[in-house]
Amino acid sequence: MGRYLARRLLQAVVVLWAAFTVSFAVLYVLPGDPVAIMAGAGTQSSTTDPAQLAALRHQYGLDQPLAVQYWDKLVDALHGDLGRSVVNGSPVSTIIKQNLPATLQLTLLALAFAVLFGSAIALCATYTRARWLRQFLLTLPAAGVSLPSFWVGLMLLQLFSFRLHVFPAFGNNGVRSLVLPALTLAVASSAVIAQLLAKSMDNVLSEPYIETARAKGASRLRIHFRHALRNAAAPALTILGVTFGELITNAVITETVFSRTGLGSVTAQAVQAENIPVVQGVVIVSAVAFVLVNLAVDLVYPLLDPRIVTAGAAR
């Protein structure tokens, strides 16, 4: 078990380093002249004084060769320094620290909704013997994956905020303002979870050991929850890391739609302003989130499937 964990930790570190490198490659190497982009931040004009450009280049260390830039940035990042925003100069790490909690609240609630609704749909759809109900339940996720999330948010706003006045239309105040954004975020993810879990349950329910359980005289309920679910949940668990990363990212859209402050709207503004350091910071944060959730899943997975860790053990 210890070796398993150590290996996973090492992989996590590699993923983080790689995410840093990829974002560096995309944001600093790919564009011809990152300085020009940042100098023209927000403005449409490209006529900037070359002297100003040179000064900026020096200030951001972008007049050094790429390899040196990369190394310096990497070392800085390891110390927690992710650079400074080109718009107002504040440290990226501070911006992230200030805005992360709001987004995390939103994302965690959305995750809870997604797991709840997704599992409920999948379990009901695979348990029921009424074909019409099963078909109906399974079209829900298909629809959920197809709806643009910005549109869903706006529709919910229209209905619940403007027409029915149940929830506030914008802002970060209190739990009630969390509900609609979290639901919006949850739609796509719950659809994915529902589809995956339903498919997994169907696969498991056609396995021979389920027949053995039936031959024992077990009831359908018992089979569904005590035999099938544990086997089916394992593959569904593996997408949790990806799901969490997607939720954090989709917050970009949701926070914009609902006019909430948080890491999502910060990202949207940063892209609009072509604020490269901030965008890189957000990419790294999402990679960290992904890695942490995956580590947690890796810890839980062997509890669900005993074949995993003990695969190498002697008989």
The DSSP code sequence of 252-309 is HHHHHHTT--SHHHHHHHHHHTT-HHHHHHHHHHHHHHHHHHHHHHHHHHHHH-TTTG
Kindly tell me which of 108 and 213 has the beta carbon lying closer to other proteins. Answer: 213
Measure the CA–CA gap between 283 and 23, rounded to whole angstroms: 7
In 3-state terms, what secondary structure has residue 147?
coil
Angle at which helices 92-127 and 276-304 cross, to 10°: 40
Q: Tokens standing for 303?
A: 């509890």
State the burial class of residue 214 (Cβ atoms within 10 Å of its Cβ: 0-12, 13-18, 19+): middle
Least Cβ distance, residue 219 to other proteins (angstroms): 6
Least Cβ distance, residue 67 to other proteins (angstroms): 19
Kindly tell me which of 51 and 158 has the beta carbon lying closer to other proteins. Answer: 158
Least Cβ distance, residue 93 to other proteins (angstroms): 18
Beta bridge partners of 91: 84
Neighbouring C-beta atoms of residue 217, cutoff 10 Å: 7
Least Cβ distance, residue 13 to other proteins (angstroms): 12
How far does CA 189 lie from the centroid of its chain? 10
Kindly tell me which of 32 and 51 has the beta carbon lying closer to other proteins. Answer: 32
Beta bridge partners of 84: 91
Contact present, 48 and 40 (Cβ < 8 Å)? yes
Kindly tell me which of 51 and 131 has the beta carbon lying closer to other proteins. Answer: 131
Least Cβ distance, residue 157 to other proteins (angstroms): 6
Kindly tell me which of 51 and 297 has the beta carbon lying closer to other proteins. Answer: 297
The residue to which tokens 């570190």 are assigned: 13
Least Cβ distance, residue 75 to other proteins (angstroms): 20
Kindly tell me which of 13 and 51 has the beta carbon lying closer to other proteins. Answer: 13
Task: Measure Cα distances from 311 to 227, 314, 315 in Å.
Answer: 21, 8, 10
Kindly tell me which of 18 and 74 has the beta carbon lying closer to other proteins. Answer: 18
Least Cβ distance, residue 132 to other proteins (angstroms): 14
